[in-house]
């Protein structure tokens, strides 16, 4: 790994080493332009080629249908918690929420300010360790949309099949922490959104994929920077976009394509996650993952040990071996290994070896 650590951070997170190196090689003088991406006009032909290629590659990766718009926005996924109801609902409309973790809960709380938000299922009582079956859902007839968090970054629960909604109810998904980690049938969704800083790039850009017929109905009070119509009409260039972040996402999309696209990426992610979950399950309770097996996340793997002191010792020793950012989110404690697309299999193998050695020393 040379001078680089094995970074298990939840986000901002590890990026592919070859992408960082490519960015480094182009940083000083981007493709003969005599300047870096950061110094260019966002309306010049150079940057236009960057954002257009990024969009084309993302469309290719996710097989995004023609009737969907791709927007590169700012404000993080958090801004979408309010932008979505502001764009899709009137203040009298109902939006349903399945709450499978902290992020879904935050999305619900923010949406309530701009529409009638309703929690149709929550996993709070079981500390967010599962995802409901279709039969457990009591969706609201006439709800404008049903919101899910496709992968709860803190709790490590991930949808494997998406819920079906009533006839006119749109499915809306926060895919911040599993975006581009596997193929997705975009046509099932009214809107998909994702902050970049986990799987596809640096913080600063948020992707929104929205069905075109849903654009143009924003509530009158919607701030201009949150109105999808403005951004769609201006091809994400209404104001100065986060140019460098978009450029980096573009490099990552190119890298994912060159690895064989999202089917190939998913296979690698399944293998990595299996290595880690198998190690947890084979530890005879020394390591415990609280999440129901059928919805365990391929991206964020939380686990606990007998005591917080032991966990602290585990994290400290991992860090001494170059494996960093393994501490669980401050709201839940424990350990969390985030193993996004860019985490090499060898990184997970190193963690598993540490788990085995640590356990051997403590029993």
Active site residue 127: no
The 10 Å Cβ neighbour count of residue 91 is: 12
Active site residue 103: yes
Rounded Cα distance, 80 and 67, in Å? 20
Rounded Cα distance, 73 and 207, in Å? 6
In angstroms, give the least distance from the CB of 325 to ligand PMP: 13
Tell me the residue number closest to ligand PMP, measured at CB: 76
In DSSP terms, 172 is beta-bridged to 147, 191
Binding mask 87-106 for ligand PMP (x = CB under 6 A): ----------------x---
Instruction: Output 148 or 279, the one with its CB closest to ligand PMP.
Output: 148
Q: Which of 144, 198, 272, 327 is catalytic?
A: 198
Would you count residue 77 as binding ligand PMP (CB under 6 A)?
yes
Rounded Cα distance, 362 and 236, in Å? 54
Q: 3-class SS at 256?
A: helix
Q: Which stretch binds ligand PMP (CB under 6 A): 71-79, 221-229, 305-313, 349-357?
A: 71-79
Rounded Cα distance, 64 and 194, in Å? 15
- State the DSSP string of 268-284: HHHHHHHHHHHHHHTTT
Residues near ligand PMP (CB under 6 A), total: 11
Would you count residue 153 as binding ligand PMP (CB under 6 A)?
yes
Choosing from 78, 94, 122, 319, the residue that interacts with ligand PMP (CB under 6 A) is: 78
In angstroms, give the least distance from the CB of 222 to ligand PMP: 18
Would you count residue 12 as binding ligand PMP (CB under 6 A)?
no
* Distances 19 to 240, 249, 268, 348 between C-alpha atoms, Å: 24, 9, 18, 20
Would you count residue 129 as binding ligand PMP (CB under 6 A)?
no
Instruction: Output 283 or 325, the one with its CB closest to ligand PMP.
Output: 325
* E strand or H helix that includes residue 117: strand 116-122
Whether the bond between 5 and the residue before it is cis, its omega within 30 degrees of 0, is no
Instruction: Output 40 or 54, the one with its CB closest to ligand PMP.
Output: 54
* Distances 318 to 5, 29, 42, 303, 323 between C-alpha atoms, Å: 11, 38, 43, 15, 5
Binding mask 167-206 for ligand PMP (x = CB under 6 A): -------x-xx-----------------x-----------
Which residues within the stretch 208-227 sit at the binding site for ligand PMP (CB under 6 A)?
none
Q: Are strands 170-174 and 335-338 parallel, antiparallel or unpaired?
A: unpaired
Q: Which of 103, 105, 116, 255 is catalytic?
A: 103
Is the separation of the CB atoms in 317 and 157 below 8 Å? Answer: no
Active site residue 174: yes
Q: Which two tokens stand for residue 75?
A: 């404000």
Instruction: Output 73 or 348, the one with its CB closest to ligand PMP.
Output: 73
Binding site for ligand PMP (CB under 6 A): 11, 76-78, 103, 149, 153, 174, 176-177, 195
- Residues tagged active-site: 103, 174, 198
């Amino acid at each position: 790994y040379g001078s680089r650590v094995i970074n298990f951070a939840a986000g901002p997170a590890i990026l592919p080493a070859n992408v960082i190196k490519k960015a480094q090689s182009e940083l000083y003088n981007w493709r003969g332009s005599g300047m870096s991406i950061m110094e260019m006009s966002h309306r010049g032909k150079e940057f236009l080629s960057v954002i257009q290629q990024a969009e084309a590659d993302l469309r290719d990766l996710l097989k995004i249908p023609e009737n969907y718009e791709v927007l590169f926005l700012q404000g993080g996924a958090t801004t979408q918690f309010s932008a979505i109801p502001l764009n899709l609902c009137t203040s009298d409309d109902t939006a349903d929420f399945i709450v499978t973790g902290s992020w879904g809960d935050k999305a619900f709380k923010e949406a309530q300010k701009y529409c009638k938000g309703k929690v149709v299922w929550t996993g709070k009582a079981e500390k967010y360790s599962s995802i409901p079956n279709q039969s457990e859902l009591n969706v609201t007839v006439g709800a404008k949309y049903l919101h899910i968090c496709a992968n709860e970054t803190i709790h490590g629960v991930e949808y494997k099949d998406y819920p079906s909604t009533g006839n006119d109810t749109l499915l809306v998904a926060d895919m911040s922490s599993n975006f581009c980690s596997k193929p997705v049938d975009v046509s099932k969704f009214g809107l998909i959104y994702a902050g970049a800083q986990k799987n596809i790039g640096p913080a600063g850009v948020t992707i929104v994929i929205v069905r075109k017929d849903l654009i143009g109905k924003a509530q009158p009070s919607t701030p201009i920077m949150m109105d999808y119509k403005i951004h769609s009409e201006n091809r994400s260039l209404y104001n100065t976009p986060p140019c460098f972040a978009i450029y980096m996402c573009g490099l990552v999309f190119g890298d994912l394509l060159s690895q064989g696209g999202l089917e190939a990426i998913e296979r690698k992610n399944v293998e990595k996650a299996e290595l880690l979950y198998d190690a947890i399950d084979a530890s005879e309770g020394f390591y415990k993952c609280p999440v129901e097996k059928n919805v365990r996340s391929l991206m964020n793997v939380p686990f606990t040990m007998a005591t917080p002191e032991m966990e602290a010792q585990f994290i400290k020793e991992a860090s001494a071996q170059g494996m960093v950012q393994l501490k669980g989110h401050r709201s839940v404690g424990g350990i969390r290994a985030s193993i996004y697309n860019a985490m090499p299999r060898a990184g997970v193998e190193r963690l598993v070896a540490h788990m085995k050695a640590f356990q051997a020393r403590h029993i």
